[in-house]
Chain A
C-alpha cells in the first residue's frame, strides 16, 4: 500500500513543486468579462437578509430550548439549534473568509470572527490555509485542508462527525499559538508578519472558550453549556462534515482542473441556506470571488463545460463513502470525473496527474 505524505514540508511537497503543481495555472471556463464583472459585483442585501434569518433562528431555538428544558422536545430543539450553530456557522465562516458575502468589509469581518468562534476555528490561521487550499486544491503536500486522506481512516471520520478530532486539534493549536509557536506545516503558509496577530488571536479565543466553560460550570448549567462553546459546535458539525466530504473526497488528487476534483450538487433549499450555496463547488473554486448568492447564475453559464451534476446530496455522499471505503485498502483508487470533450482545450493543462510519494 502506497503511503502518502500529506504534510506540507515532506517529500510530497517537494514533488508537487518539481512537477509544477504548486501555484499552477488552472483550467477556467471561458466566460465574457462583462458577465464576470456582473457576477463578482458585491452587495450587502442578500447576506444581511440571510444573516438576520440565521441569527433570528438561533435565538428562537435557544429560547425554545430554555422553554422545553426537561422534556423530550428539548432533544429535537437542540438538534435544530446545533445544526444552525455547528453547520451554518461553517459556511458563514467560509464565505466571509473570501470577503465576498458582504460588500461592506466590516460586515464580512464581523460575521467571520463570530462564525470562527462558533465553529472553533482560528480565524487568522484558517484565512491563510484556505488561501492555500484555493491555490493548490487537493495537491498533496501543498493543500492543508484535504479531508479525504488516503488510505481512509474510518474511525477518524466517524469521530469527526461529532467534532472530536477538529476540536481536539484546534485546542492543541490554540495552546501552541498562545505560547508563541507554529508547527512546521503552518510556517509554510503563514507569513512571518502575521505571527503576532495569530498568537494574540489564539490567546483571546482561549480566554473566550474558558469563559464559556467557566460560566457553565460556575452556574452548574447544562443549558449554558449547550447554547455556547464547544458542545453545540460538536453537536451540529455532522452535516457540515457531510457537506465538506462531498466537496472533494474520493476525487482525483494532483490535477489542475477543478472539474476533476470538485463536485457540484443540486441540494434542497434548506441545505442551500445552511451551506450558503457551496454545493456549487466547481463554480466556487473556478471563480472564488463570485459571491454565494450569484453561484446559481454562474452554474447556468458553466454547466455545459462541466461533468454531470449530482442530483442530490445523497447521490454525492454515497459516491464519497463508497470511494473512501475502497481507499482504505487501495489508496490509488479515485472517482474519475471527465469534463465534456472539447477539442480546442489543451488537454495537457487539465490532466496533469502526478505520482505522489
Chain B
C-alpha cells in the first residue's frame, strides 16, 4: 500500500539544491536536479550520520558536508571512500506544484 507524504511546494527547493524533511522520526533529503526533476533519499550520510541537506549538490551528486562522501542522489549509489554503503532512495511525485514522497506505511 502506497503512503504518499506531502513535503513542500516545488518552488521551495532551488534547482541543483537539497532541503531536509523530517517525518515520523525519520530524516529525508529532497533534491531538485539541474533539469528540475525531484528526488528523495534518506537524510543522513551512511558514513557518520551527517545531515546531507547541509551538503553541496553538483549535477547528480550530493556531497556530505563533513567528509566529502559522495552519492548519486538519483539512485543512492555511494561514489567511493569514505562512503561504502549506498543511500536509500524514495519515490517522489509532483502534484499541483507540491512535492510528495512515498514512504513505508
Contact = CB atoms under 8 A, between A and B. Distances in A.
Nearest to A39: B56
A23 B48 contact: yes
A131 B47 contact: yes
A127 B82 contact: yes
Interface size class of B (residues with CB under 8 A): 10 to 19
B9 interface: no
B72 to A, nearest CB: 14
A58 B66 CA distance: 32
B58 interface: yes
Nearest to A127: B81
B98 interface: no
Contacts of B84: 191, 193
Interface string A183-213: 0000000010110000000000000000000
A226 to B, nearest CB: 34
Contacts of A244: none
Interface in B1-53: 17, 47-49
A289 B56 contact: yes
B65 A288 contact: yes
Contacts of A135: 48, 66-67
Contacts of B64: 289
Contact of A99 (B48, B54, B68): B68
A128 B82 contact: yes
Interface of B: 17, 47-49, 54-56, 58, 63-68, 81-82, 84
Interface of A: 23, 36-37, 40-42, 98-100, 124, 127-128, 131, 134-135, 191, 193-194, 287-289
Rank and list the top 4 A-B pairs by shortest CB-CB distance, nearest first.
A99-B68, A40-B56, A131-B67, A131-B82
